[in-house]
Structure formats: C-alpha cells, structure tokens
Structure 1
Amino acid sequence: MFSVYGVTGQVYSGSFEGISRVNQVRQTRRSRTVQEDGFELGTDIIPSPIPTKTLAPTAAEQRAINAYRSTLPIEFERGPLFHARQIMQTKVITVNVNDSVSDAWELMRESGIHQAPVFDNGAKLIGVVSERDLLTSLNLTQNGMTNVLDRRVSDVMRTPVVASSPLTDIRRIARVMLDFEVDGVPIVDESERLVGFISRSDMLRVMMKDPPLSLWC
C-alpha cells in the first residue's frame, strides 16, 4: 500500500499501479529530468524513451540459470519475502520545511544521511529533500560552506512524496525508487505517522543477507 503526500496533505492512497495517475507525482518526476532531456534546447517536451526488447535467454544461458536454481534449497528458491517494517530505519532524521538549506545540509552531514523527509509546522509529511537538492543552493569549498542563495528547504525539496505502509513488499518499494527516481521512501502507518525510512542502501543490505533475497520473477 502506498500514499502520496504534498503540501495540501494526502493526495493519494492505494496500490502501486495507481501512483502514476497522480498528476503532481508525474510533474515532480519530469522536473528532475528536464535538464537532461533537452532543457538547453528551449523545449519542455521530453522525448519518450526508446523501447527496448527483452530477449529470451539462449540455450546456454538457460542451462546456466537452471544450474544455479538447482543449487538453491527448495524452500528458498524464490527467496524470502521482506516487508518494509523488516528493513526500515526506525530512527529517522527529519527537517522542517522552513529550515534554511545550510542548516539542513549540516544536519544531514552530521547524521551521515543523504536524504530526509520534510515536515510542515503541523508535523505533517509534505516532501523529501536530498543532498543533490540542497547542493543547488550551496557552494562547498575547502574553507567550508557558502550559502550562495538564501533559500529554505521548501525551495528545493521534492513534493509530493510517495510513502509506503510498513507491510509493503520491498520489491514494490524498489520499483517506486526506480520509476520515480528517488533515493528513499518514507514509511507511514495507518495514522499517517512516520515510523521509518528505507533508502537504497537498506535495499542493497537486505539483498546481501543469507539467505539472499531472490530476484526471480
């Protein structure tokens, strides 16, 4: 189960398949890729990706796949199922929408994190901000940090933000990260209370567990 939160509150609650129909989420995704996809050409039209064809494995590749599968214990052949609550970080560092960019940067650097959920003054989740977002307003030199632009977190954060429930399959969460180009997903309970956060590092860590997370479809 996923939810989408923006500055006006929750704007969506439902399955993964429905997220892409939320117009604000599509716009947020486009705004992060426009510079790569032709902004310098003076157009806001983003070309569609070239479709790729998925090739069936060759006979040799299929034999290798079958050989690998034969080495797996039967009970673990498809891998264990992990939910968000099993791998999420429960001690979550958050920032306020009115924090200065420099203060948010210092907090994230001292905490050793690369992104953080953003809350408004009413303690409601409204976005997420990453190091890359903050760096658009900062100048880092050997002598320290210079706040080139006097900006707030509200000026650079990503909103709306896709959040997940604690019982969501982490493979669905990984799909959100890929499809919406985010480095982390906040985890909220039925009361819309933040209970955790999952980053790309958390996903990679669980894939290295023994028994490993299987990626077979």
Structure 2
Amino acid sequence: MISLEVCDYMNVHPVKLLETMAVAEAVECLLRTKQTGGPVVDAKGRVVGFLSEQDCLQRMIESSYYREHVCRVHEIMNAPALTVKPYTSVLELAQMLLKERPRVYPVIDDEGSLVGTINRAAVLRAIDEQLQSGYRKIAM
C-alpha cells in the first residue's frame, strides 16, 4: 500500500508571503509562482495567516484607482490560517476540503513553521494513486 500522508504529496517550495508586504507585491509573488494563494509568515517563518487571489482583488482595484499601494498583507489575510501537519492523512485532509473554504492548506511542523503547502489537485492525485494501486493488485 502506498503512503497517504500529506508530506508525500505537498509542494515543498511554496510561495511565502510576509505580513508586512504591500498587497500588490504579494500579488506579484502569486503570479510569478502561478499559485492561487499562499501562507503568510512572520519573521520567524511561522504561519500567521493565508492570502488568496480572492482576498487581493478588491485591494488591487483600489490600488489601480489611486495609483498607490492601498494596504498591507496583514490587513486582509485570513487569520488564523487553516493548516495541516506533514503526517496528516490525505484522506483526513480530503474530508476537511469538503467542509472548509481553502483550496490550499499550509503544511506546518509542530512549532508552526511552514514546511510546504498542499492543494486539492495533490489530494486527488494521492487518492487516485491509491485507487490505481488497488486496481493493479486485483488484476494480478
């Protein structure tokens, strides 16, 4: 049986947004890394919130209108962020995804530091691999 822990399917190079960043700068990071949202970390690398594209839309419109940075990430981020641990079961996370809003979950260690992110596509991939593994065993 294949592993079904978050650590085996998470993105180990997630975007890291700082709570003091201008929202426009955070948007540039999201666009550059092609991620739909990212964890917000403090100076010690601990996750303090999450910022999604949706969170940024209104502020970017205002920035465009006023031609200046209207606010900082900490003003509009979702806090506290919904997080998971690397040893969390992917199936447990799948159940959480059915109930909660985030499409992306920060993965944190036991001290609260960011170690990765995991999204719905990675969860689907993990479950699909498990199913495919089961099909192969039945066919043998």
TM-score range, shorter chain: 0.7 to 0.9
What is the aligned-residue identity percentage? Answer: 22
CA distance 1:108–1:184, change in 2 (3 Å): same
Matched to 1:120, the amino acid is: D
What residue identity is the alignment partner of 1:146? S
TM-score by length of 2: 0.81
Q: Which runs of 5+ in 2 are unaligned?
A: 135-140
Which residue in the other structure is 2:10 paired with?
88
SS at match of 2:21: coil
* Distance of aligned partners of 1:210 and 1:106 in 2 relative to their CA distance in 1, 3 Å threshold: same
- List gaps (5 residues or longer) in structure 1: 1-75
Alignment of 1:15-34 (within 5 A): none
What is the aligned counterpart of 1:193 among 110, 113, 119? 113
TM-score (norm. length: structure 1): 0.54
Structure number with higher helix proportion: 2
Question: What is the SS of the residue equivalent to 1:129?
Answer: strand
Counterpart selection for 1:132 from 38, 54, 70 = 54
Q: CA RMSD in A?
A: 2.5
Question: Is 1:113 aligned to 2:35, yes or no?
Answer: yes
- Residue 186 of structure 1 aligns to a residue whose secondary structure is strand
- Relative CO higher for 1 or 2, CA cutoff 8 Å, sep ≥ 6? 2
Which aligned runs of 4 or more in structure 1 are off by greater than 6 angstroms? Answer: none
Superposed CA deviations along residues 164-193 of structure 1, whole A, max 9, x for unmatched, are 111111121122233221111111122332
2:83 aligns to what SS in structure 1?
strand
Shift of 1:196: 1.3
Match of residue 64 from structure 2: 146
Aligned counterpart, 2:76 = 156
Q: Secondary structure at the match of 1:162?
A: coil
Residue matched to 1:203:
123
Rg comparison, structure with higher value: 1
Cα displacement string for residues 88-135 of structure 1 (whole angstroms, at most 9, x for unaligned residues):
111121100011111110111011111100012343210111111111
SS of the residue corresponding to residue 150 of structure 1 reads: coil
